């Protein structure tokens, strides 16, 4: 019973980094799909496999949290980071599934730009997460967090631009519904990335 209170070598940082790696992989798959303008069954399967692998890491983190009392940073922060990074991969998988279901078969300039912004943002998340191993490296961590925030703002602007053009040029109401949902979900990925870096920034404050 008392074993759970004893310090153990649980690699929380390694697991969080692995989870961020899966988010980066998902972002790259998504970017590749939007550049070609098509979400093939093979590409969707790759995305779903990455999503499942990310889920496995999340379960490992939560399981280890349940088994130990002493953690390198607050357990609530580890839990929150695990959840938010899992949400990044989940949302990218959701958008990919939507593209397949909606039979998206054209290159859309706004979605291509979203693909690049999302990839950059998730890479920023990975940088911030890696920085948690050494909280003395504050400048590098904060630089990554600021960049993710900038990209979230860029995503807001891109979503608005995409929606304005959509409503001005698209006459098919079904197409409007499809694209509106995809644009909004793409921007949601960036919101989640910012949520991750907000947690990282709060960890820096707690450990200053």
Write down the domain spans for the chain.
10-201
3 state SS of 68? coil
Which of 26, 13, 29, 9 shows the shortest CA–CA distance to 141? 13
State yes or no: pLDDT of 76 exceeds 70: yes
Longest CA–CA separation in the chain, Å:
66
Domain 10-201 fold: Methane Monooxygenase Hydroxylase; Chain G, domain 1 (1.20.58)
Q: What is the structure's pLDDT at 134? A: 85
Rounded average pLDDT over 75-85: 96
Q: What is the structure's pLDDT at 8? A: 53
At residue 130 the predicted structure's pLDDT band, cuts being 50, 70 and 90, is: very high
Q: What is the structure's pLDDT at 1? A: 36
Residue 201 contacts residue 143 (beta carbons within 8 Å): no
Residue 121 contacts residue 173 (beta carbons within 8 Å): no
State yes or no: pLDDT of 194 exceeds 90: yes
Q: Which residue has the tokens 């980066």?
A: 24
Rounded average pLDDT over 25-50: 95
What does pLDDT average to over the chain? 93
State yes or no: pLDDT of 7 exceeds 50: no
Most confident of the following: 136-140, 161-165, 203-207: 161-165
Rounded average pLDDT over 70-76: 90
At residue 97 the predicted structure's pLDDT band, cuts being 50, 70 and 90, is: very high
pTM for this predicted structure = 0.93
Hey, what are 19's tokens? 């989870």
Q: What is the structure's pLDDT at 135? A: 82
At residue 152 the predicted structure's pLDDT band, cuts being 50, 70 and 90, is: very high
Q: What is the structure's pLDDT at 10? A: 63
Hey, what are 60's tokens? 């490992």
Q: CB neighbours of 174 closer than 8 A, spacing ≥ 6?
A: none
């Amino acid at each position: 019973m008392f074993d759970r209170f004893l310090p153990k070598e649980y690699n929380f940082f390694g697991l969080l980094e692995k989870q961020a790696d899966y988010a980066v992989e998902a972002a790259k798959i998504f970017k590749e799909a939007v550049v070609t303008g098509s979400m093939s069954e093979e590409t969707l399967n790759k995305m779903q496999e990455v999503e499942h692998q990310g889920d496995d890491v999340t379960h490992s983190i939560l399981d280890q949290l349940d088994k130990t009392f002493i953690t390198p940073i607050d357990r609530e922060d580890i839990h929150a980071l695990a959840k938010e990074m899992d949400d990044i991969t989940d949302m990218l998988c959701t958008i990919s599934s939507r593209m397949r279901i909606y039979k998206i078969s054209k290159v859309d300039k706004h979605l291509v730009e979203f693909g690049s912004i999302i990839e950059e943002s998730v890479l920023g998340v990975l940088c911030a997460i890696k920085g948690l191993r050494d909280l003395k490296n504050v400048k590098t961590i904060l630089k990554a967090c600021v960049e993710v925030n900038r990209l979230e703002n860029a995503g807001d602007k891109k979503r608005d631009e995409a929606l304005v053009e959509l409503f001005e040029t698209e006459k098919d109401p079904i197409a409007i519904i499809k694209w509106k949902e995809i644009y909004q979900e793409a921007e949601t990925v960036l919101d989640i990335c910012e949520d991750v870096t907000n947690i990282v920034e709060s960890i820096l404050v707690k450990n200053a």
